[in-house]
Structure formats: structure tokens, C-alpha cells
């Protein structure tokens, strides 16, 4: 078993000065913590993998392809591989678990 604590992952991510911390990588998936602060721009480009976002804290909007929705704690969003997507209008610091399948390279 592998178990993780969100507060420890957040501390590790912050200590490494990055917006993204991959903390699990297996044969069929990878999982990371993505952080964007209020007012920040999301620099993401489309990925080659399907991905699922689960918002653990914060508030923002996300646009996936041509669709936009507001997200907050508890929101789950699926993004198909190759589709443009961005978080925007980040009104509260955003922390998101990201699951990639297959694993992100």
C-alpha cells in the first residue's frame, strides 16, 4: 500500500518551487498535486493522456475544449487526451489532484 497526506504533499511541492508535484507513478497511471494561486495564469498545454482533476481546495473556472464550468472543493473534471484546457478566474488558491492515464511522461 502507498498512502499520502495532502498537507505533506503540499509542503513537498512548495519546497520544490513548482506548481506540480507527481507523487505516484504506476504502470497505468500517475497522480500529482497541481497548485495555482489566486489570480495566477494556468500555463498548461494539452496532454497526450486522459486526465481527471479533483479539486481539494480553492475556486476557479476551467475551460475544456469549448465548455466552461466553475469548480471548487469536491469538483471532479475529466479531460480527454489532446483537448485544450485551462483553469482561469482563480479567485481562491487552487489545489487539485491530477490523475493521468497512461502515466504522464
CATH number at residue 55: 2.60.120.10
Nearest to 51 by CA among 22, 79, 87, 21: 79
User: Considering the domain boundaries, does residue 34 fall inside one?
Assistant: yes
Mean residue pLDDT across the chain: 97
User: Considering the domain boundaries, does residue 73 fall inside one?
Assistant: yes
pTM: 0.94
Assess contact for 81 and 50: CB atoms under 8 A. yes
Q: How confident is the model at residue 14 (pLDDT cuts 50, 70, 90)?
A: very high
Give the number of domains in the chain: 1
Domain that holds residue 22: 6-101
DSSP 8-state secondary structure symbol assigned to residue 1: -
User: Considering the domain boundaries, does residue 56 fall inside one?
Assistant: yes
Q: List pLDDT tens digits, range 47-98.
A: 999 999 999 999 999 999 999 999 999 999 999 999 999 999 999 999 999 9
User: Considering the domain boundaries, does residue 37 fall inside one?
Assistant: yes
The answer on pLDDT for 105 being more than 80 is no
User: Considering the domain boundaries, does residue 11 fall inside one?
Assistant: yes
Amino acid at each position: 500500500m502507498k498512502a499520502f497526506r495532502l498537507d505533506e504533499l503540499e509542503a513537498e511541492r512548495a519546497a520544490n518551487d513548482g506548481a506540480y508535484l507527481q507523487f505516484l507513478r504506476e504502470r497505468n497511471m500517475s497522480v500529482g498535486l497541481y497548485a495555482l494561486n489566486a489570480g495566477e495564469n494556468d500555463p498548461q498545454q494539452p496532454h497526450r493522456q486522459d486526465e481527471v482533476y479533483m479539486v481539494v481546495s480553492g475556486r476557479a473556472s476551467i475551460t475544456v475544449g469549448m465548455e466552461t464550468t466553475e469548480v471548487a472543493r469536491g469538483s471532479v473534471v475529466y479531460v480527454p487526451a489532446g483537448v485544450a484546457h485551462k483553469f482561469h478566474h482563480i479567485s481562491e488558491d487552487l489545489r487539485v489532484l491530477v490523475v493521468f492515464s497512461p502515466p504522464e511522461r
